[in-house]
Chains A and B, each alone.
Chain A
Amino acid sequence: MVETRAYDEMHGTAGDVREHYRAFADWLANTPRDRLTQKRAEADSLFHRVGITFAVYGEEAGTERLIPFDIVPRIIPAQEWRQLAAGVRQRVRALNAFIADIYHEQEILAAGRVPPEQVLCNQAYRPEMQGIDVPGGIYAHIAGIDVVRAGRGEFYVLEDNLRVPSGVSYMLEDRRMMMRLFPELFARHSIAPVEHYPDLLLENLRSVAPAGLTDPTVVLLTPGANNSAYFEHAFLAQQMGIELVEGQDLFVDDEYLYMRTTQGPQRVDVIYRRIDDDFLDPLVFRPDSLLGVPGLLAAYRAGRVTIANAIGTGVADDKSIYPYVPEMVRFYLGEEPLLANVPTYVLRRKPDLEYTLANLAELVVKEVHGAGGYGMLVGPAATREQLTAFRARILSAPERYIAQPTLALSSCPTFVESGLAPRHIDLRPFVLSGRDITLVPGGLTRVALRAGSLVVNSSQGGGTKDTWVLE
């Protein structure tokens, strides 16, 4: 089931320019090459000045690299976006309902729709959360749903990110950059704005504060400047006008949470945390963590503080749970999913394992607990040795893997050394859940910069594009 013909965002099958790209194509044709080259260099130096860098794991300690930014936007017409947004919203509603159910009555397990061991023996399941009520029953306040387009232009969900989804700062900075470099494009198009994301996020976080507070205090909890996403932490805190705190700035007293300020201890009501569950409270999770706050879970249990995203959301975004998400939509909402999963083989199941081993060269195999594109096999791109080695890995622990057909991800023209060429992209819309579910139009478009590569992660050399939803 290999799709060979990628959907091109800009061009139709006959090579004609799609309607929503016409104005842009026109501008491109009429803009001298030197100007484009000069503008690209300007973007580079601006990004460097502002300091948007990304420390890449596995390289020499502390090397900071720019995440490459491509000036050709990914454009989505309004109607398509409306459909996509509706599907994403529906999915996030179902996911939140699932998490709430797992940590309360577990009705979906009793109904036999999801195997209980998948959930309860999952490393991301947090027994500590069982029975704890959270404001509004919302667990994943911020969700990043990774979406791709395949063969005929239909959207699929590749992955849900419900723990500490990142990348929104690039979405915001990319838009700022495009408006600065090419104001004429914004005059020519009617592009839905995204700049209000920080305001939306702050409003959302305040809306889930413990009940009865007129002016809740929100903070952003970061592991510190050595974390690879620190730029985003500092950026968002500054944009929202909230304090950027580390574990050592906080303490629990009388089941309330406080931060240490020059004016004395100040109560904290909502924590937007960019630290994994495991490091949040050394009294309950990893005892050696210095990043968290001892006693935080006690304050949380007593309902004195809201944590966003809630502890334990990982139970819903695990790759082993992913195949059941369409079931969640049916079970909790009584609706058919508007957005489809990528067909997935769960290698824990014998028939799926057999099929996968028989077709390894055509499939993408991922570790259930992996992240960021590591520990993955891309069958069509692998050598014979790599296939053999991976086969052995699968056989040693099949329950650790899932497999999916290689989708021909849609491509979008991108500037490379030889000029403009198609490169594969994906999309991560950011969904905020609080009183309502809101999305900023678009999201982060990631692009694989190597020809033919399907790996878009910035940690492995991917880049980003501005995403335009036309109004």
Chain B
Amino acid sequence: MQLHIRHETVYRYAEPVKRSVQNLRLTPRRDPIQRALNWTLQAPGRQHAQLDAHGNIVHLLIVNEPHREIRILVNGVVETAAAPHMALPNEGRLSPLAYLADTPLTQLDEPIAAFARRQLGDTGPSERFLLDLAHAVCEAVHYEKGATAVDESAAGAFARGKGVCQDQAHVFIACCRAVGIPVRYVSGYLHADRQAEVESHAWVDAWLGHESGWMSIDVTHRERAGPAHCRLAVGRDYLDAGPVRGVRRGGGLEELRVTVNVATSAQQQ
């Protein structure tokens, strides 16, 4: 499938920002199951591209002059695999074991650990287990926008019982780690058939061993990720892999507006 993506992120500030430094993960990963054609990134200030330890393409964006708005626009075409994603081999520098450790956002607590152990039961890690777990996580954490903040932890979302795809992914990740399955947070785009405008999406890669590799599971949709998914970045959690992460001096109240248009070649605008 060919996805035509246009993603605009606009930050507006009540007062001038003196200086801002951001890490942008807005460039599709070089994974075996996708290929980016004509991908461009437009942003103010100066950008430097690097490859981080997870193999993500990261742009360091520095805006030195006082500003009240930052507008980041990415645009391009991504060719994705034709079928549900095959399991990915472990490429890059990090061992899968590096994705077994806790992070503050995915920290285990007793309720999640117990929940995860119940799901695992007698069967070992497998695709079936992962899909069942996704199902169980969505039942335990209902999809609801606005219920959680962007810095909500897995434990918090689990206790609340609702959240967005990011929260469901975090809870899924905490569960996998509780039973010893290395798992990565995946940030990217999802093209849903009927809508041309959707938000960025989050799902996971779970490690099933050297023979099987990384299996991509869309927790929110309780299925394997496939041609409609475009991968931007992976990491241990949202902080590692999220599209924009930065700090600023000044600015006061921040207003964020994100518009994502994802279309296939047939629907291209």
Q: Do A and B have CB atoms closer than 8 angstroms in the complex?
A: yes
Q: Which residues of A contact B93 (CB under 8 A)?
A: 130-131
Cross-chain contact A121 with B53 (CB below 8 angstroms): no
B54 within 8 A of A: yes
In the complex, chain B residues 78-105 whose Cβ is within 8 Å of any chain A Cβ: 93-95, 97-98, 100-102
Q: Which residues of B contact A121 (CB under 8 A)?
A: 97-98, 100-101
Q: Is the contact region of chain A dominated by helix, strand, or loop, or is it mixed? A: loop
Cross-chain contact A116 with B95 (CB below 8 angstroms): yes
Q: Which residues of A contact B46 (CB under 8 A)?
A: 253-254
Which single residue of chain B is at the shortest CB-CB distance from A298? B60
A294 → B minimal CB distance (Å): 4
B36 within 8 A of A: no
B136 within 8 A of A: no
In the complex, chain B residues 243-259 whose Cβ is within 8 Å of any chain A Cβ: 245-247
B21 within 8 A of A: yes
A255 within 8 A of B: yes
Which single residue of chain B is at the shortest CB-CB distance from A117? B97
In the complex, chain B residues 1-58 whose Cβ is within 8 Å of any chain A Cβ: 19, 21-23, 46, 48, 50, 52-54, 58
Which single residue of chain B is at the shortest CB-CB distance from A295? B21
B140 within 8 A of A: no
Cross-chain contact A252 with B21 (CB below 8 angstroms): yes
Cross-chain contact B247 with A298 (CB below 8 angstroms): no
In the complex, chain A residues 398-446 whose Cβ is within 8 Å of any chain B Cβ: none
Q: Which residues of A contact B19 (CB under 8 A)?
A: 251
Give the CA-CA distance A103 to B55 in the complex, in Å. Answer: 15
B265 within 8 A of A: no
A56 → B minimal CB distance (Å): 28
Give the CA-CA distance A371 to B196 in the complex, in Å. Answer: 54
Q: Which residues of B contact A295 (CB under 8 A)?
A: 21, 60, 62
Cross-chain contact B246 with A122 (CB below 8 angstroms): no
B237 → A minimal CB distance (Å): 12
A39 within 8 A of B: no
Q: Which residues of B contact A287 (CB under 8 A)?
A: 239, 245, 247
Cross-chain contact A130 with B100 (CB below 8 angstroms): no
Give the CA-CA distance A287 to B62 in the complex, in Å. Answer: 17
Give the CA-CA distance A131 to B91 in the complex, in Å. Answer: 13
Q: Which residues of A contact B52 (CB under 8 A)?
A: 128, 301
In the complex, chain A residues 118-162 whose Cβ is within 8 Å of any chain B Cβ: 120-123, 125, 127-132
Give the CA-CA distance A302 to B48 in the complex, in Å. Answer: 10
A323 within 8 A of B: no
> Per a CB cutoff under 8 Å, which of B62, B64, B94, B245 touches A130?
B94
Interface string of A235-270 (1 = CB under 8 A from B): 000000000000000011111000000000000000
Residue from A252, A253, A287, A295 whose CB has the most chain B CB atoms within 10 Å: A295
Check A255/B97 contact, CB under 8 A, given A128-B52, A287-B245: no
Cross-chain contact B64 with A116 (CB below 8 angstroms): no
Cross-chain contact B101 with A283 (CB below 8 angstroms): no
Give the CA-CA distance A174 to B60 in the complex, in Å. Answer: 46
Cross-chain contact B245 with A120 (CB below 8 angstroms): no
Give the CA-CA distance A121 to B102 in the complex, in Å. Answer: 8
Interface string of B100-130 (1 = CB under 8 A from A): 1110000000000000000000000000000
> Per a CB cutoff under 8 Å, which of A125, A132, A255, A294 touches B48?
A255
Give the CA-CA distance A117 to B98 in the complex, in Å. Answer: 8
Q: Which residues of A contact B53 (CB under 8 A)?
A: 127-132
Cross-chain contact A127 with B100 (CB below 8 angstroms): no
Cross-chain contact B95 with A283 (CB below 8 angstroms): no
> Per a CB cutoff under 8 Å, which of B64, B98, B102, B245 touches A283?
B245
B80 → A minimal CB distance (Å): 27
Q: Which residues of A contact B22 (CB under 8 A)?
A: 283
A388 within 8 A of B: no
A63 within 8 A of B: no
Q: Which residues of B contact A128 (CB under 8 A)?
A: 52-53
Cross-chain contact A253 with B64 (CB below 8 angstroms): yes
Cross-chain contact A302 with B247 (CB below 8 angstroms): no
Which residues of A approach B to under 8 Å, CB–CB? Answer: 106, 116-117, 120-123, 125, 127-132, 251-255, 282-284, 287, 294-295, 298, 301-302
**Closest 9 interchain pairs by CB?**
A120-B97, A294-B21, A131-B93, A130-B93, A121-B101, A130-B53, A298-B60, A294-B247, A295-B21
Q: List 12 A-B contacts (CB under 8 A).
A: A117-B97, A121-B98, A121-B100, A125-B98, A127-B54, A128-B52, A130-B94, A130-B98, A254-B46, A294-B21, A294-B247, A298-B48
Known: A116-B97, A252-B21. 12 other contacts (CB 8 A): A120-B95, A123-B101, A127-B98, A127-B236, A128-B53, A130-B98, A131-B93, A282-B247, A284-B23, A294-B246, A294-B247, A295-B62
